[in-house]
Amino acid sequence: MSPLRFKWTLTLPNLSGVNHQAAIRAFEKVGFVIARQSGHVVMKRQQTILVIPRHNPVKPTVMGQLIKTAGLTIEEFKELL
């Protein structure tokens, strides 16, 4: 039997080196407010909740998902930085 082979394709957003504090400021510009802070920062805007880790830099895949959840494009987010 031949072994199963999986081809994983993952497209990483071009967001290397985003500081969590810069991300928080960018999300505040579009109406998110800090709900609470601990090991992570929780931000809210109406029913949308973002949980931003306090890692520097924030991983590109995590940052891409946060941007998508916020309803922004990567280009729009970069302009807010």
Tens of pLDDT, residue by residue over 21-71, are 999 999 999 999 999 999 999 999 999 999 999 988 998 889 999 999 999
pTM of the model: 0.82
Question: Interior CA angle at 49 toward 43 and 53, to 5°?
Answer: 60
Tokens of 21: 């504090």
Q: Which pLDDT score, from 0 to 100, does residue 61 have?
A: 87
Q: Is the CATH number 3.30.920.30 carried by domain 20-80?
A: yes
Residue extents of the structural domains in the chain: 20-80
Sign of the Cα torsion 25, 26, 27, 31 reads positive
